């Protein structure tokens, strides 16, 4: 399948998924909207779950690229600030897509997306691991070092973003960038006191 046809399918599938949600999403609606044959759709994606997983993977990779493009300064504090800024910015710029990523994936979609994301997730989290390791106490590996550092860093930011994409709060995420950046640094500083 030509790249532009695949891109058109993914764009249309994304539109349908974001508008209707996974339960009401159908490959047939995407196929009909684009005037494609059933064979070409199923050859490219295999199933409804396969197409939804492809949309999920594409969105997650876009998010990861947006974050990774901002990291790697060699200064842990500067990278944490950049991470929070990139996270808030991506969510605000992609509200509906973020809502889709924050939703619990049906098992069949997750099973397809997981291997497609494995290497990318490894690279993403390895980069974050290196950023946290540059901070006093955050790089300590007692078995929970990275997980704890990551939860402290992005937890409040992520929770606010979840509330915002669902309409629970009105102020866009970027409104609170400095607050979440300061909170992340303060929370991570507690690791050096352990």
Same domain, 65 and 155: yes
Quote the CA–CA distance of 136 and 139 in Å, as a whole number.
7
Same domain, 33 and 101: no
Count of domains forming the chain = 2
Same domain, 95 and 189: yes
Quote the CA–CA distance of 106 and 90 in Å, as a whole number.
24
Which CATH number do you get for residue 22? 1.10.10
Same domain, 65 and 126: yes
How many beta carbons lie within 10 A of that of residue 102, not counting itself?
13
Residue 93 lies in a domain: yes
Residue 53 lies in a domain: no
Same domain, 17 and 87: no
Residue 54 lies in a domain: no
139-177, pLDDT tens digit by residue? 555 556 788 899 999 999 999 999 999 999 999 999 999
Same domain, 175 and 82: yes
Q: pTM, whole model, 2 decimals?
A: 0.91
Residue span of the structural domain in which 175 resides: 59-193
Which residues of the chain fall short of a pLDDT of 70? Answer: 1-3, 137-144, 193-194
47-62, pLDDT tens digit by residue? 999 999 999 999 999 9
């Amino acid at each position: 399948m030509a790249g532009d046809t695949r891109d058109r399918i993914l764009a249309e599938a994304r539109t349908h998924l974001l508008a209707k949600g996974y339960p009401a999403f159908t490959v047939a609606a995407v196929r009909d909207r684009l005037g494609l044959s059933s064979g070409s759709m199923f050859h490219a994606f295999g199933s409804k779950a396969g197409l939804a997983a492809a949309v999920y993977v594409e969105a997650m990779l876009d998010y990861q690229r947006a974050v990774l493009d901002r990291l790697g300064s060699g200064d842990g504090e500067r990278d944490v600030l950049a991470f929070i800024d990139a996270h808030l910015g991506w969510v605000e710029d992609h509200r509906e897509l973020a809502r889709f990523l924050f939703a619990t994936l049906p098992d069949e979609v997750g099973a397809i997306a997981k291997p497609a994301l494995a290497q990318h997730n490894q690279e993403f989290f390895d980069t974050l691991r290196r950023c946290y390791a540059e901070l006093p106490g955050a790089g300590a590996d007692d078995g929970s070092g990275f997980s704890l550092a990551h939860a402290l860093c992005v937890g409040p930011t992520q929770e606010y973003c979840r509330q915002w994409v669902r309409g629970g709060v009105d102020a866009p995420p970027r409104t609170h960038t400095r607050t979440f950046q300061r909170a992340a640094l303060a929370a991570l500083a507690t690791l050096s006191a352990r």
